[in-house]
Amino acid sequence: RAKKMIDKIKELMYMPERIRNMGIVAHIDHGKTTLSDNLLAGAGMISEELAGQQLYLDFDEQERERGITINAANVSMVHEYKGKEYLINLIDTPGHVDFGGDVTRAMRAVDGVIVVVDAVEGVMPQTETVLRQALRENVKPVLFVNKVDRLIRELELTPDQMQERLIKVITEVNKLIKAMKPEKYKEWMIKVEDGSVAFGSALYKWAVSVPAMKETGIGFKEVYKYLKEDNWRELAKKSPLHRVVLDMVIKHLPSPIEAQKERIKVIWKGDINSPEGQAMVKCDPKGPVALMITKIIIDPHAGEVAVGRLYSGTLRPGMELYIVDRKAKNRVQTVGVFMGPKRIELPEVPAGNIVAVVGLKDAVAGSTCSTLENFTPFESIKHISEPVVTMAIEAKNPRDLPKLIEVLRQLAKEDPTLHVTLNEETGEHLISGMGELHLEVKVEKIRREKGIEVITSPPIVVFRETVTKTSPVVEGKSPNRHNKFYIVVEPLPQEVIQLFKEENIDIRKADKKELRKKLMEAGLTKEEADGIQDYYEGNVFCDVTKGIQYLHETMDLIIQGFREAMSAGPLAKEPCMGVKVKLVDCKLHEDAVHRGPAQVIPAVKGAIYAAMLQAGPTLLEPYQKVYITVPQDMLGNVTREIQARRGQILEMRSEGDLVTVIAKAPVKEMFGFANAIRSATAGKAMWSVEHAGFEPVPQALLEQFIMEVRKRKGLKLELPKPEDFLP
């Protein structure tokens, strides 16, 4: 049977109109894993028993224990619809906010998603986040309302009430689509009549939709009757989950041929009329190879396997590919696709498929690979969240250090949202990520899978240094006193940061006039907008001088000084954010020998530091929004827990005897929240978090926090003064 299945896949992969590349997204616990496994089992790709154990998409041992899906794994299945077979590639997307980068990357490889919503809980914050990510990447949604059995068995709703509740979910999802993607709303809105929504139970393996009802005769009334009689087995036989849901996928989600016509211009910024642009738009197997890597997985036999979406061309072993973003060239060793959860190697794989490649040793998740050396990389993936938590990690046994360094390198490659750095002052390795859980999971991986005993520090938040007002002009002199830089710093409007983040602007390549216009709209003066030289991690550098000799040839060094200052600010060597640095005047030695890096960089850096210290310097700290649902009688315990953590309650919604508290709290205070809330509510709370940006540290705590960081980094235990940075 496996042989027959391989033959089918081999045939279908050459018929892109019969391929669907899709993902499943959901708020945690709404049933994504159960749905994925039962679709796979229903399509005959894994046995029913295995599906029961949720083995495939949650294959990571720790994932199962924690009950969350961490790795975007890939599975493929074959399904028959109206007498034709289709190849459905399912990319698993992690549901937890701590893994935001993985979610966004997986979104690049798919053309459509099933949004799963629990019928009892309705649309939740994470539903909104993942739907937004999908829509932003031009990925089309369909809706599966899950756990409908609970409406009848637990809430004992009448058929009318049930219908009302389902309509409410649809309305809410449509409202989100309308708000987030108005230009596509007409085409993409969810409609009961056309079957772009299905209702059912992933756990009990049945589903209904209007088109399915016409064939099976099973509609709402019948569902109600069967469930009242607790006769779901009959229901699963008459209107099976996988058939209804996969029919919906095939009918409503686009094939790569259809999708690539529109998606390429959203995810790729090269010239759409170039031969490679057109090859992708047409999903042309004869075009140059355009491959976007979404994930690096480690296979026990083959080693590193790069998984990605092939937008054009055909991949074969022996081919040489440029890893464009890394300026490297690798030879393809093997190529393959997935069958169920297994990877199978093939002589070639054409455009439109999700492909697994061995040999691309320089590729990381997010890389662009092509047969063309000058291929424009896919727009760098936008991560919704930035690393906000860090911890020190060391090998228990010093002999393991080289192995640990290698493993850290590997992990950073698999997950670009994980940052690994060496603290020069203390010699320890630091790992930074999106949240406490994100780091814990990685550390567990090092322990369990790599067998290295490690010691970690408790998690620490990463602050940002910023300024609150305009500094006076500060003079920075080079060590040889022959060069002088006059610097002013001031707060950078949030809109400017937003602009760079959202539009991925490259200052050197951007159209000057257009860039100036945008920057002025975002709040820079004309002078600043014209003189902008660099954007770096939420900070900008503007040269507002006129006619200074030798400045042009010195600019790269000045920018380097700016970047060094921004990556470790004056207060506590934390990264800076929201700082506008202006060069207002400068004097340079006529002989290039006297204005080299050792002169320019420290002079610029010192002047920026001294200016920042006179511009109302402060720390920003990361915040999280927390959603906690508990029975009414436990509300007091929850609000106490929030308030003890400098938290602020924003809203409360009650439904039945449950109440959802929406609060905001600093990440620093949220460490250990999982345990605290569990014991405060006897395990009855359901909760989730979302990143909520940065806010200033309260004045009363500022000095204490600065000193904590300085102490940890082995810096002098004194507040720094401007003079400290001027020669």
* Binding residue numbers: 26-33, 92-96, 146-149
Q: Tell whether residue 71 is a contact of ligand GDP (CB under 6 A).
A: no
Which range in 9-17, 196-204, 385-393, 529-537 contacts ligand GDP by CB under 6 A?
A: 196-204
Of the residues 18, 30, 589, 645, which one makes contact with ligand GDP according to CB under 6 A: 30
**Separation between Cα atoms, residue 573 and residue 246, nearest integer Å:** 53
Q: CB of residue 116 vs ligand GDP: minimum separation in angstroms?
A: 7
Q: CB of residue 33 vs ligand GDP: minimum separation in angstroms?
A: 3
Q: Tell whether residue 34 is a contact of ligand GDP (CB under 6 A).
A: yes
Task: Please give the torsion angle defined by the CA atoms of residues 587, 589, 590 and 592, in that order, rounded to the nearest 10 degrees.
Answer: -120
**Which ranges in 649-714 belong to alpha helices (H)?**
667-670, 673-680, 699-712
Q: Is 383 in contact with 501 (CB distance < 8 Å)?
A: no
Q: CB of residue 148 vs ligand GDP: minimum separation in angstroms?
A: 7
Q: Tell whether residue 719 is a contact of ligand GDP (CB under 6 A).
A: no
**Separation between Cα atoms, residue 634 and residue 682, nearest integer Å:** 9
Which range in 25-33, 335-343, 430-438, 655-663 contacts ligand GDP by CB under 6 A?
A: 25-33
Q: CB of residue 23 vs ligand GDP: minimum separation in angstroms?
A: 13
Q: CB of residue 451 vs ligand GDP: minimum separation in angstroms?
A: 28
The token pair at 123 is 């649309």
Of 28 and 576, nearer to ligand GDP (C-beta) is 28
Among 581, 558, 387, 381, smallest CA distance to 471 is for 581
Q: Report how far apart, in Å, the C-alpha atoms of 719 and of each of 461, 610, 613, 722 are.
A: 20, 13, 10, 10
Q: How many CA atoms are closer than 13 Å to the CA of 95, on its beta-carbon side? A: 25
Of 155 and 179, nearer to ligand GDP (C-beta) is 155
**Separation between Cα atoms, residue 263 and residue 109, nearest integer Å:** 11
Q: CB of residue 149 vs ligand GDP: minimum separation in angstroms?
A: 5
**Separation between Cα atoms, residue 671 and residue 461, nearest integer Å:** 9
The token pair at 145 is 């309302």
- Region 119-158 residues binding ligand GDP, contact defined as CB under 6 A: 146-147, 149-150
Of 28 and 461, nearer to ligand GDP (C-beta) is 28
Q: CB of residue 57 vs ligand GDP: minimum separation in angstroms?
A: 8
Of 241 and 697, nearer to ligand GDP (C-beta) is 241
527 in helix, strand or coil?
A: helix
Q: CB of residue 322 vs ligand GDP: minimum separation in angstroms?
A: 37
Q: Tell whether residue 60 is a contact of ligand GDP (CB under 6 A).
A: no
Of 31 and 647, nearer to ligand GDP (C-beta) is 31
Q: CB of residue 94 vs ligand GDP: minimum separation in angstroms?
A: 10
Q: CB of residue 30 vs ligand GDP: minimum separation in angstroms?
A: 5
Of 55 and 405, nearer to ligand GDP (C-beta) is 55
Q: Tell whether residue 29 is a contact of ligand GDP (CB under 6 A).
A: yes
Of the residues 18, 32, 383, 668, which one makes contact with ligand GDP according to CB under 6 A: 32
Annotated binding site for GTP: 26-33, 92-96, 146-149
Q: Tell whether residue 63 is a contact of ligand GDP (CB under 6 A).
A: no
Q: Is 666 in contact with 645 (CB distance < 8 Å)?
A: yes
Q: How many CA atoms are closer than 13 Å to the CA of 325, on its beta-carbon side? A: 18
Q: Report how far apart, in Å, the C-alpha atoms of 648 and of each of 623, 626, 667 are.
A: 11, 10, 13
Q: Tell whether residue 201 is a contact of ligand GDP (CB under 6 A).
A: yes
Q: How many CA atoms are closer than 13 Å to the CA of 280, on its beta-carbon side? A: 27
Which range in 197-205, 213-221, 509-517, 546-554 contacts ligand GDP by CB under 6 A?
A: 197-205
Window 78-117: contact mask with ligand GDP (x via CB under 6 A): -----------------x----------------------
Q: Tell whether residue 202 is a contact of ligand GDP (CB under 6 A).
A: yes
Of 93 and 330, nearer to ligand GDP (C-beta) is 93
Q: CB of residue 96 vs ligand GDP: minimum separation in angstroms?
A: 9
119 in helix, strand or coil?
A: coil
Q: Tell whether residue 340 is a contact of ligand GDP (CB under 6 A).
A: no
Of the residues 5, 180, 203, 210, which one makes contact with ligand GDP according to CB under 6 A: 203
Beta-carbon count within 10 A of 520 CB: 14
Q: CB of residue 137 vs ligand GDP: minimum separation in angstroms?
A: 20
Residues in contact with ligand GDP, total (CB under 6 A)? 18
Of 615 and 689, nearer to ligand GDP (C-beta) is 689
Among 375, 380, 270, smallest CA distance to 313 is for 375
Which range in 3-11, 26-34, 127-135, 593-601 contacts ligand GDP by CB under 6 A?
A: 26-34
Q: Is 288 in contact with 371 (CB distance < 8 Å)?
A: yes
Q: Is 579 in contact with 471 (CB distance < 8 Å)?
A: no
**Separation between Cα atoms, residue 390 and residue 429, nearest integer Å:** 10
Q: Is 540 in contact with 534 (CB distance < 8 Å)?
A: yes
Of 92 and 574, nearer to ligand GDP (C-beta) is 92
Q: Which helix (H) or strand (E) element contains residue 237?
A: helix 232-238
What is the distance of C-alpha 354 from the center of its chain? 19
Convert 557-614 into a string of H (helix), E (strand) and C (coil): HHHHHHHHHHHCCCCCCCCECCEEEEEEEEECCCCHHHHCHHHHHHHHHHHHHHHHHC
Q: Which residues pair with 484 in a beta bridge?
A: 477, 587
Residue partners of 123: CB distance under 8 A and separation at least 6: 27, 117, 169, 172, 173, 176
Site residues (vs ligand GDP, CB under 6 A) = 26, 28-34, 69, 95, 146-147, 149-150, 201-204
